[in-house]
Amino acid sequence: MSRTVERAIVEPERTVGALKTAEKGPQLYVRAERAAKGLNRTWLLAAAVVVLFVASILLGSYTVTVPDFVTIVTAHLTGGEKIPGASFIVMETKLPRATMGLMIGVAFGLSGALFQTMLRNPLASPDVIGISNGASASAVLAIVVFGASGAAVSVAALFGALTVALLIYLISRGGSLRGAGGRNGNAAGNRLVLAGIGIAAALGALVSFLMTRADIRTAAEALIWLNGSLNPATWERIGVLLLALAVLLPFTAALAKPLRLLELGDDTAAGLGVRVGAVRLGLVLTAVALAAVATAAAGPVSFVAFLAGPIARRVTGKPSLPASALTGAVIVLAADYFAYNLAPLLLDATVLPVGVVTGALGAPFLLWLLATSNRKDA
Amino acid sequence: MARLSARDLTLQYEQRRVIEGLRTEIPEGKVTMIVGANGCGKSTLLRGLSRLLRPAAGAVTLDGKDIHSRPAKELARTLGLLPQQPTAPDGITVRDLVGRGRYPHQGFFRNWSHGDSSPHDLAVRNALDATATTELADRNVDELSGGQRQRVWIAMALAQETEVLLLDEPTTYLDLAHQVEVLDLVTDLNRRRGTTVAIVLHDLNLAARYADHVIAMKDGAVVAEGTGIDVITEELVRTVFGLESRVVPDPVSGTPLIVPIGRHHYPAPQATETTKPALEIAS
């Protein structure tokens, strides 16, 4: 009997609920449409990448026509007759530059999005939490103290990034063990960000110190690297980067699904069968490696990792790794097009390193993000 | 034999020991309520039972096998958990959230079959149906009310299709109507699917109302377990909560109803007399 009484009390409530949702019919339709738009907008980003890629090869201070481009590439592949000048500019400068821009954009974009999603903190990108600084400090040390150049600098950068990542991970992990297991995943994330910012500051000081001790020519060389630049784009470097991405992208794809569950909180994820500790470690390693190989290739192109995830989210309406990767590529390609082709027109033929442009973009974006994110959360 | 049981279970955070040498069983096919005062270790016990906390000593077994010896995904197909305050990522839709409950049933590669006949879609639709959230399916979770949101989380746990479901205070921050709604929902699940349910619950009266089995805890130990009528007595409320009360039969269900006394009110004389006989009639 008690059951019937409960039903009678509950049922009218349900009916009211149903009516309320019925009123929201059109709104529901809009929402479904919006979800579909998320996917369409990812294709839009992909299209933007293609357009920028093509534009940076064909347009700019040295323009190439489409038929010429096709001739140059087929000639290069088949060993046919080259177009004097144009062949060299396309195959040794424009094409490698655009290809490397695309690849480091993807790597930085993914790395940032992985960190930001895993730690549920938009500040937690490798360029904010000291990983890029680790690469910089190590590379500058190699350039200034050991007189390294070329590939040796890249190796040093890679080593520096991984060392700093390990250090930050150990510091934040030591704290999280003390907490209630996975309950305070957010606290562990915040600790990691704070540890990273501290280390970033210390490494920044080290870089400044090394720069003051270096002779002017070495310092200039180090500075170009520090700004992040696509100038060192060579097919050899692209090959190394391609190899690294061929290993790291499948890892990222495999971790994407458990990452989506980590978003629900560590406890919920564990309840759904995710091995939280192992997945977290895998994510950290993958994200660090992505940032490290990109930094090793082109220097710490600032703010790309930091910007890609949030911009991708604003564009597609939800956090998405593919969209973040594409956004990273868009940022680097667009910034480099500006730095390489447009800036010289404005600044008496000065070619800017791409990192200067992304850095200039990053600061106002950070402020904008801070100003709008709280409002959204409230 | 009970499927989920704790054997000489010791649980601790770092050096702080919360539960020591605890033995208990979650009876199969029943709704078990774990009750106790704040800080008595009931949520810790649930964390232990649901593998979130690795035992310092002893073991939690499911069908006689240590839960920590099983592959995580395989365990998640049998043992489900709804933590106290799960976090929904920004902008996630209800359907997407509920769909994530299917993770332990999916292979390494993403299952691309999205036909109506796919077992995953069916499970998601059933879960939405059972929790009356079908109409909310395309809305964003962060736009929902507290009650709706809790129904969605339960839908996610349902989509997991486990034989055992553990819930940590699923009614926290809900008003009374929604508390009743959530517990009705969980009871439906138990009655229709035969799911074994264990819930940590603050509200003793609701626990008594909905429990087939009650586990009462104090200072990290089980002080009483059994049916609500056997376990929830004035003496138990005094021991466990340090609260003077009258326990009378619930006029709706006949289960024990705890009426706290406090310092400002005094019980009417007849209340004491009716307590015991009324309970006997009810049982």
Spell out, as residue ranges, where chain B has pLDDT lower than 50. Answer: 1-2, 111-113, 115, 273-283
In chain A, residues with a C-beta closer than 8 Å to the C-beta of B85 are 265
Grouping H, G, I as helix, E, B as strand and the rest as coil, residue B24 is strand
Rounded to 5°, the CA angle B114-B119-B122 comes to 80
Q: Under an 8 A CB cutoff, do B47 and A181 touch?
A: yes
Interchain contact A65–B (C-beta under 8 A) = no
What residues of chain B lie within 8 A of the CB of A179, using their CB?
13
Residues B52, A267: C-beta atoms closer than 8 Å = yes
Residue B5, phi then psi, degrees to nearest 5? -145, 155
Record: contact A2-B253, CB cut-off 8 A: yes
Residues of chain A falling short of pLDDT 50 = 1-29, 176-184, 375-378
Kindly list the residues from chain A whose CB atom is less than 8 angstroms away from the CB atom of residue B101: 272
Residue partners of A299: CB distance under 8 A and separation at least 6: A136, A139, A157, A224, A225, A226, A227, A228, A229, A353, A355
Which domains does chain B show, CATH number per domain?
1-78+164-235 (3.40.50.300), 92-161 (no CATH)
Q: Is A319's CB within 8 Å of B91's CB?
A: yes
Tokens of A302: 């600032």
Of the residues B50, B53, B102, B103, the best mutation for testing chain A's interface (the one with the most A CB atoms within 10 Å of its CB) is B103
Separation between Cα atoms, residue A66 and residue A75, nearest integer Å: 14
Establish if A221 touches chain B: CB-CB under 8 angstroms.
Answer: no
Closest CA in chain A for residue B12: A180
- CA of B243, closest CA in chain A: separation in Å? 28
Q: What is the pLDDT of residue A252?
A: 93
Q: Which residue of A has its CA nearest to B106?
A: A257
Q: Which of B83, B92, B180 sits opposite A267 (nearest CB)?
A: B83
pTM over 0.90: no
Chain B residues in contact with A2 by the CB 8 A cut-off are 252-254
- Please name the member of B100, B132, B135 whose beta carbon is closest to the beta carbon of A261: B100
pLDDT of A188: 66
Distance CA B281, CA B278 (A): 5
Annotated domain spans of chain A: 43-372
Name which of B74, B100, B110 is nearest A264 (Cβ-Cβ): B100
On chain A, the residues whose CB falls within 8 A of the CB of B80 are 271
Nearest-CB residue to A273 (from B76, B177, B253): B76
pLDDT digits (tens, 9 = 90+) for A111-126: 999 998 888 888 888 8
Size of interface A-B (CB pairs under 8 A): 110
3-state DSSP call for residue B269? helix
Strands B79-82 and B164-168 turn out to be parallel
The pLDDT, as a whole number, for residue A110 is 95
Asked whether the beta carbons of residue B100 and residue A31 sit closer than 8 angstroms, the reply is no
pLDDT of residue B282: 47
B131 alpha carbon, distance to own chain's centre: 16
Cα angle B48, B54, B59 (rounded to 5 degrees) comes to: 70
The ipTM estimated for the assembled molecules is: 0.83
Return d(Cα A144, Cα B54) in angstroms, integer.
50
CB within 8 Å: A254 and B254: no
Spell out the long-range contacts of A84-93 with Cβ–Cβ below 8 A and sequence spacing 24 or more.
A86/A62, A89/A62, A89/A64, A90/A57, A90/A64, A93/A233
Q: What is the pLDDT of residue B197?
A: 94
Question: Does the distance separating the beta carbons of B138 and A21 come in below 8 Å?
Answer: no
Q: How far is CA B51 from CA A168, A182, A267, B219, in A?
A: 28, 11, 10, 21
pLDDT value at residue A61: 73
Residues of chain A in contact with residue B106, where contact means CB-CB under 8 angstroms, are 257
- Torsion-angle region of residue A299: left (phi > 0), alpha (psi -120 to 50) or beta? left
| Spatial distance between the Cα atoms of B187 and A94, rounded to a whole number of angstroms | 67
Q: Other C-beta atoms within 10 Å of B75: how many?
A: 22
The residue ranges of DSSP E strands in B206-277, in sequence order, are 213-218, 221-226, 245-249, 256-260
What CATH class is the domain A43-372? mainly alpha
Q: What pLDDT, on a 0 to 100 scale, did the predictor assign at position A246?
A: 94
| Partner-chain contact A181 B13, CB within 8 Å | yes
